């Protein structure tokens, strides 16, 4: 497993929180973590400034991490805090590496090249994250129904990658034929309106099955562990029954209908996306 501080810094960059190590219980599970990352992106698209999440309270959606927040060590002296307003907006999140990461299943793809080799997950193409180092998340035996979703067979969930600022600005028009298109008239109305008005934004959470695609939208950060700069991406499995394929084959959408409450929106994300890897690459 890469340096623990490096992994915590990566989690900080993705979540917009100050993620720190604890010997007690983690405040969030890996599933909670991907919920926070996805919901932050979604609510930012919707124009909100804050996100309420159980066990964390109010999270600011302001992008405070474009600056180098780790250029100097934390203030250790007593007295008033010297942290700037950007840093003070970040919620502190405690993670216990022992119950959050699963080093047994780490896999370093840094020097691997698959060439023309083909891989499948859930009978769908799996583009492995060659060039990246994967830190495994502890997700086994944490879901009802066992770990079939995490396997390699036909009943496994396909792999998706979640980047940063992946939204309707990519120029996406959703196609018919997915689960929501069949079940939700609002989805068809939105798709029809997009064809008429030229509006391409689908309401929801975006991800991609193509690691090359997500590389354009991955988060960058400077680690306190070694002072080097890295990119980070979440590797997930996506529920094929909850995902909408878009006109662009390299983009998938978890559709969130208009009028959903915060609780319903969180439930949609939790039913649709499960994380299992934190991908790191030095830049």
The per-residue pLDDT for 171 is: 44
Q: Show the beta-strand stretches assigned E in the chain.
A: 18-21, 50-53, 57-60, 92-95, 107-108, 120-121, 124-125, 133-136, 159-162, 204-207, 219-222, 229-238, 244-245, 252-255, 273-282
**CB contact set of 124 (below 8 Å; sequence gap of 6+):** 158, 209, 240
Binning pLDDT at 50, 70 and 90, where does residue 274 land? Answer: very high
State the DSSP code for 208.
B
The per-residue pLDDT for 188 is: 52
Mean pLDDT score across all residues of the chain: 83
| CA–CA dist 218, 215 (Å, integer) | 5
Binning pLDDT at 50, 70 and 90, where does residue 197 land? Answer: very low
Binning pLDDT at 50, 70 and 90, where does residue 89 land? Answer: low
| CA–CA dist 25, 44 (Å, integer) | 29
The per-residue pLDDT for 216 is: 84
The per-residue pLDDT for 33 is: 96
Q: What is the pLDDT of residues 129-173, one digit of tens each?
A: 999 999 999 999 999 999 999 999 999 999 999 977 776 555 454
Q: What is the pLDDT of residues 219-261, one digit of tens each?
A: 899 999 999 999 999 999 999 999 887 777 788 889 898 899 9
Residues of the chain above pLDDT 70, percent: 78
Exposure b/e, 18-34, CB count within 10 A at least 16 = b:
bbeeeeeebbbbbbbbb
Can you read off the two tokens belonging to residue 195?
């064809």
Q: Which of 87-96, 206-215, 220-229 has the lowest mean pLDDT?
A: 87-96
| pLDDT at residue 31 tops 50 | yes
Q: Which of 112-116, 161-165, 209-213 has the lowest mean pLDDT?
A: 161-165
According to DSSP, the residues that pair with 232 across neighbouring strands are 219, 280
The per-residue pLDDT for 68 is: 43
82: left (phi over 0), alpha (psi -120 to 50) or beta: alpha
Rg (CA), the chain: 19
Q: What pTM did the predictor assign?
A: 0.83
Domain layout of the chain by residue ranges: 4-71+84-282
Q: What is the pLDDT of residues 43-81, one digit of tens each?
A: 988 889 999 999 899 998 876 544 444 444 344 334 443
State the DSSP code for 98.
H
The per-residue pLDDT for 74 is: 40
The per-residue pLDDT for 187 is: 52
């Amino acid at each position: 497993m890469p340096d623990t501080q490096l992994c915590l810094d990566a989690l900080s960059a993705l979540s917009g929180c100050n993620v720190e190590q604890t010997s007690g219980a983690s405040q969030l599970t890996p599933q909670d973590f991907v919920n926070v990352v996805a919901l932050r992106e979604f609510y930012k698209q919707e124009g909100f400034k804050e996100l309420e999440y159980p066990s964390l309270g109010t999270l600011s959606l302001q992008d405070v991490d474009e600056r180098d927040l780790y250029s100097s060590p934390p203030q250790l002296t007593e007295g008033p805090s010297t942290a700037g307003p950007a840093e003070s907006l970040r919620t502190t999140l405690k993670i216990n590496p022992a119950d959050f990461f699963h080093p047994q299943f780490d896999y370093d793809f840094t020097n691997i090249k698959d060439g023309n080799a083909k891989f499948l997950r859930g009978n769908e193409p799996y583009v492995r994250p060659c060039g990246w180092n994967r830190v495994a998340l502890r997700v086994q035996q944490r879901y009802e129904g066992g770990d079939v979703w995490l396997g390699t067979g036909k009943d496994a969930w396909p792999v998706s990658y979640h980047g940063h600022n992946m939204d309707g600005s990519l120029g996406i028009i959703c196609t018919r034929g997915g689960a929501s298109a069949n079940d939700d008239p609002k989805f068809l109305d939105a798709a029809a309106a997009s064809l008429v008005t030229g509006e391409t934004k689908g309401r929801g959470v975006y991800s991609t099955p193509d690691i090359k695609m997500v590389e354009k939208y991955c988060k960058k950060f400077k680690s306190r562990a070694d002072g080097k700069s890295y990119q980070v991406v979440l590797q997930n499995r996506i529920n094929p029954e909850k995902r909408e394929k878009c006109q662009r084959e390299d983009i998938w959408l978890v559709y969130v209908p208009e009028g959903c409450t915060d609780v319903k929106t969180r439930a949609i994300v939790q039913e649709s996306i499960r994380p299992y890897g934190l991908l790191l690459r030095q830049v």
